[in-house]
Amino acid sequence: MYDIKRRDKKVFMRELFRFGRVFMALVAVMVVAMTGLAMPWPIIGGAAIAWIVYGAYAASVRKRFVNRKFQLLWDACKDRLERFHDAMAESSKSGVPELQDLPKSVDRIGETLYVALRRADIVMDEVATSEGWLMATKSGGGPISPDQKAQELYRLADKNIAEYRQNYQGVIAGVQRTEAQAAVFTTTLDTLRMRMLGHRLISAGPEVEHTEFMQAMTEAKMQLDAIDKALDELELTPFPGLGSSPPPIPEAAKEQMREKDQD
C-alpha cells in the first residue's frame, strides 16, 4: 500500500525549504523593514511565513504527480467533472428527478480514480527507478555450449528471466488498467454531458424524448458502476502473487550448491 499522504508531505516539505522561496521571503522582509513602514516585526514575520507556506503548498499540489502522463490524465478527468457539474446545474432547471443522485456517484468515482492514478504514478516511478534500462536487456537464450552443466545453468537463467517478465507485466497491467479506467470515465462524462445538452435544447416529442434520455442515463450509470467496481478490484502491487514464504529452490540450483559444498 503506497502512502500517498506521506508522499504529498514529502513534496510539500521540499517546496517549503526551497532556497529560492526562503530567500525571496527574506528579501521581502528586508525591503519592508528598509521602507520604514510602521509595522510590528511579529506581523511582518508572520506574513512572510504565511507567504512561504502558501506558496510551498500551491507548488507542491502542482508537483504531486511525478509522470506528466498521469497528470494529464487527471487534468482531463477534473475538466470533465467541472463540465459535468455545469451541465447538471443547467439540467436541474428542467426538474428531472432521476438525475439528483448522479453527481454524488460521479464525484465518488472521481475521488477513487484520483487515488488510483496517484498509485499508478508512484508505481511507474518506482519501476523506472528500480529497473531503468534493465528491462530492455532481459533477453533469453544463452550462448551454445557443449558443456551440459553450463546449458543447465543457462536454462535456469532463462526461467528466471521469464519469471521476471511475468512480474513486470503484472505491474504494468495494473497501471494500464488504471489508465483505461480514466479514459472510460472521461468519455462517459462526455456522453452524459451531450445527452443532457440535447435533452435541453432539442425540441421533439416530450414523451419519446424523455424515454430515450432516461435509457441513455441508465446506460451511463451502468458504465459508471462498472468503473467503480473495477477500481475497487484494482490492486497495484509491485510483485503480484509474491507470498510471505520464499519460492522453492530449483533442482539445478540445489545441485550447484551441493557441488560447491563438496569442493
Give the residue-averaged pLDDT of 121-130.
85
Kindly report, residue by residue over 159-203, the tens digit of the pLDDT.
888 888 888 888 888 888 899 999 999 998 998 888 888 777 765
- Judged against a pLDDT cut of 70, whether residue 50 lies above it is answered with yes
Which of 121-125, 156-160, 228-232, 244-248 comes out lowest in average pLDDT? Answer: 244-248
CB within 8 A of 56, min separation 6: which ones?
12, 15, 16, 18, 21
Of 144 and 190, the structure prediction assigns the larger pLDDT to: 190
- The amino acid that residue 165 corresponds to is R
Closest alpha carbon to 199 in 218, 220, 217, 222: 217
Using CB atoms within 10 A of its CB, is residue 7 exposed (0-12), middle (13-18) or buried (19+)? middle
* CA-wise closest residue to 21 among 50, 48, 52, 44: 52
- Does the pLDDT value for residue 252 go beyond 50? no
- With a cut of 80, say whether residue 53 has pLDDT above it: yes
Domain ranges for the chain, please list them. Answer: 1-64, 68-262
According to the model, what pLDDT value does residue 72 have? 94
Cell of 54: 502558501
Kindly tell me if the per-residue pLDDT of 248 is higher than 60.
Answer: no
Cell 499508478, residue located: 120
More confident position, 249 or 107: 107
C-alpha cell at 18: 526551497
Q: What is the pLDDT of residue 80?
A: 94
Higher per-residue confidence, 228 vs 29: 228
- Identify which of 53, 46, 61 has the alpha carbon closest to the alpha carbon of residue 18: 53
- Burial of 223: CB neighbours in 10 Å, binned 0-12, 13-18, 19+: middle
Beta-carbon contacts of 94 under 8 Å, excluding residues fewer than 6 positions away, are 199, 200
| pLDDT, averaged across the chain | 75
pLDDT, one tens digit per residue, over 73-88 is: 999 999 999 999 888 8
Whether pLDDT at 228 is above 70: yes
114 pLDDT tier (thresholds 50, 70, 90): very high
